[in-house]
Amino acid sequence: MQHQLTIQEAIFTLSNFNKQIDQLTYRFRSNFFGPVKVDGKPIAHDDKAKSNEEELVKYKQLITDTSALRHAIAKANNELIVENHSVTYQLEWVRQTRLLLTQLESLIQRQETRVETGVGVVEYSAYNETSIREDIDRLTKEVNKISSLIDQSNANSMISIDLLTEI
């Protein structure tokens, strides 16, 4: 079935489909395994077999749909431009910059004092803490700005996609 979705809706749908896959995977342990014979005599499980087949069909549809959604989102992210770069580029930049911010914030919070023989009391701290704090403020604002622009782009950009699973 053909659907017109914003990228934001596609991401939300992908998340929901992944949850459904997780639920089906969890149910496989209890629904696909159980007693088949008692005292050497087979136990009829026609209803279980039919139910299992339906779950496998649903699972395969979800795999196909999540793959299609990921592909459509990735394609759109490669084509859409935010601040002179593709959304894919910006997403990676934001991810890496957030990692850097975490490191910098940890660095400026770290302070140690040691008594070293022959030297005395030595205090350890980040070099040029003021400059690091300025970098943190500047990068945080930039990350927030790019993230907001990506969100706006995702909310306003449409993709067309064929899905087997009902949304």
Q: Mean pLDDT across the stretch 35-63?
A: 88
Where along the chain do its domains lie? 2-162
| Residue 144 banded pLDDT, cuts 50, 70, 90 | very high
Alpha-carbon distance of 67 to 6, in angstroms, equals 17
pLDDT of residue 37: 86
Which residue do the tokens 């910059």 mark? 97
Alpha-carbon distance of 100 to 75, in angstroms, equals 27
Which residue type sits at 115?
V
- Asked whether the beta carbons of 143 and 101 are under 8 A apart, the reply is yes
For residue 162, what are its two tokens?
A: 């064929």
For the chain, the residue count is: 167
Which residue do the tokens 């342990």 mark? 29
- Asked whether the beta carbons of 159 and 76 are under 8 A apart, the reply is yes
Instruction: Give the pLDDT confidence of 11-23 residue by residue, as tens digits.
Output: 999 999 999 999 9
pLDDT of residue 50: 83
- Long-range contacts at 28-32 (CB < 8 A, ≥ 24 apart): 28/55, 31/55
Which residue type sits at 139?
L
For residue 24, what are its two tokens?
A: 């089906």
Is residue 45 predicted with pLDDT exceeding 90?
A: no
Is residue 36 predicted with pLDDT exceeding 80?
A: yes
For residue 58, what are its two tokens?
A: 């649903």
Least confident of 18-27, 46-55, 84-93, 148-157: 46-55
CA 43 to chain centre: 43
pLDDT of residue 43: 85
